[in-house]
Amino acid sequence: MSEFQTMIETPSSCAEAPAPAAAPPEPDALSEMLRSVRLTGAVFLSARLTAPFGIVSPRRYDERMPMAHLRHISVFHLVAEGDCVIETASGGRRQVEAGDLVLLPFADQHRFYKGSAPDMVFDPSLIRQGPIEGVWTVDYGGGGQETRLVCGFLESAELFTPVFRSLPEMLVEHAGAGTVGGRLASTVGEIAHLVAAAMPGTQAMLGRMMELLFVEVLRRHASRLPAGSKGMLAALNDPLVGRALQLLHADPGRRWTADTLARAAGSSRTVLGERFNGLLGRPPIDYLTSWRMQVAADRLRHGRDGIARIAADIGYESEPAFARAFKRVTGMTPGRWRDGGGDNRELMPLQFKAPIPAV
């Protein structure tokens, strides 16, 4: 039947039957993950660079720098004008041009350059407060052709979600290659316009736009993954594993077993386990434990429920059992996490850390 109900003529004495209720939409596991990460976006830098130039991001952010107070960040660079090369700490290199968008999920050290630039520099004195509150400016280079960058960040309190670990160190959307859709290109253009106009009161708008850009880039990246890819985004694209993930995310407190999950997903335990391991490198119930801890960590940090309530909601029969599981995964008790212990990334065990390349 089509989306619209067929009109049928009936006797006036007959009561009209109510239209059937629409089926609820399937849970969106990717959206659930993004909600748990609690992204907060902002624009922090407007840079005017003239060829030749070579500039490197700081290795660490200290008190002299914007973003010094942030815990876990991903960085966006919008190329508003001109072109240049961006190079990551591991040696990854891409040519970018006006309209392009660069996402660095882990904000590792990186470099921009153009022409026969002198040695790469980073000098905090180059960074000055701009006319928009919270947006700094840089004006640097040899006086040749201009390249203008608008730089933003996305902060996440809990960066250990599998979504981030699935991403490459650098994602580039090429406007010139036709890969940026109208909505994405329009948002990039509007951000560049607002920053250039330096209108007061626009920082909140800029932040929301950065968040929208991240979600759109993430979805586009997931849609283009080649066959044989692994990781969370590839798993979400897989019909069977994606269905299992939707079930786990929709009801993490249910007493799931490998058998009940397989039946609910329409598969056998063996087939689901093999597909899960192949894409995510772990069995379904092991993943469920990590997801429960992700949900618990978010509620501990941002909610007011007691630890016993949180434990019950995510499937633990007792608070001590939950506390043991939480400490095994995070390295600290739920109470310490709630008090801010999770802000120190060095305290977090390896399975919760994003794979940031050494610099």
Name the β-bridge partners of 110: 88
Residues of the chain with CATH 2.60.120.10: 30-223
CA 339 to chain centre: 24
Q: Is the pTM of this model over 0.95?
A: no
Q: How many CB atoms lie within 10 A of CB 137?
A: 17
Tens of pLDDT, residues 192-222: 888 887 776 787 788 888 888 888 888 888 8
H or E segment and range at residue 189: helix 182-197
Helices 239-250, 269-280: crossing angle, 10 deg rounding? 90
| Range 56-76 average pLDDT | 58
353 pLDDT more than 60: no
Confidence of residue 183 (pLDDT cuts 50, 70, 90): low
> In the 3-class helix/strand/coil scheme, how is 123-135 assigned residue by residue?
CHHHCEECCCCCC
CB 253 within 8 Å of CB 311: no
- 294, 157 in Cβ contact below 8 A? no
More confident residue, 50 or 330: 50
Do strands 40-50 and 136-141 pair parallel, antiparallel, or not at all (unpaired)?
parallel
The pLDDT value recorded for residue 305 is 94
The length of the chain, given as a count of residues: 359
Question: Per the CATH hierarchy, to which homologous superfamily does domain 30-223 belong?
Answer: Jelly Rolls (2.60.120.10)
18-32, 171-185, 189-203, 335-349 — most confident range: 189-203
pLDDT over 70 percentage in the chain: 74
What SS3 state is found at 41? strand
Tell me yes or no: is domain 232-352 CATH 3.40.50.10540: no
Give the highest mean pLDDT range of 5-9, 132-136, 223-227, 266-270. Answer: 266-270
* 8 Å CB contact between 108 and 357: yes
User: CATH 1.10.10.60: which residues of the chain?
Assistant: 232-352
